[in-house]
Amino acid sequence: MRWQTTKFSPIQSGALFMAVSQAAFTVTDIFTKIVVESLGLGQLILVRGAIATILMAIFVWRTRQFSDIKSLINPFVLIRLIGEIGGTVFYLLALAHLPIANVAALYQTLPLMITVGAAIFLGEFVGPRRCLAAGAGFIGVLVMLRPGLGGFNANALYMPVSVVFYATRELATRRLPTAIPSGLVSFLSAMALAICGGLMVPMTGGWMELTVPATLMLAAAATSMLLGNFFIILSTRLGDLSFVAPFRYTGLIWSLLAGMIFFASFPDLPMVFGAAIVVGSGIYTLYRERVAGHTRPISEMSGLSET
Comparing C-alpha atoms, which of 185, 192, 184, 191 is closest to residue 67? 184
Residue 196: pLDDT above 90? Answer: yes
Mean pLDDT across 43-50: 90
- Find the range with the poorest average confidence among 77-81, 101-105, 127-131, 191-195: 127-131
Res 280: pLDDT? 86
Question: Furthest-apart CA pair in the chain: how many Å?
Answer: 56
Res 1: pLDDT? 47
Please tell me whether the overall predicted TM-score, pTM, comes out greater than 0.95 for this model: no
- Find the range with the poorest average confidence among 94-108, 112-126, 161-175, 288-302: 288-302
- CB atoms near residue 176 (< 10 Å): 17
- Find the range with the poorest average confidence among 63-67, 103-107, 277-281, 296-300: 296-300
> Using one digit for the tens of pLDDT, what is the confidence trace for 239-264?
665 677 778 888 888 998 999 999 98
Q: Which residues contact 257 (CB under 8 A, 6 or more apart)?
A: none
Average pLDDT score, the chain:
83
Mean pLDDT across 10-16: 80
Written as one letter, the residue type at 103 is: V
Residue 287: pLDDT above 80? Answer: no
Written as one letter, the residue type at 124 is: E
d(CA 5, CA 75): 45
Looking at per-residue confidence, does 152 or 298 come out higher? Answer: 152
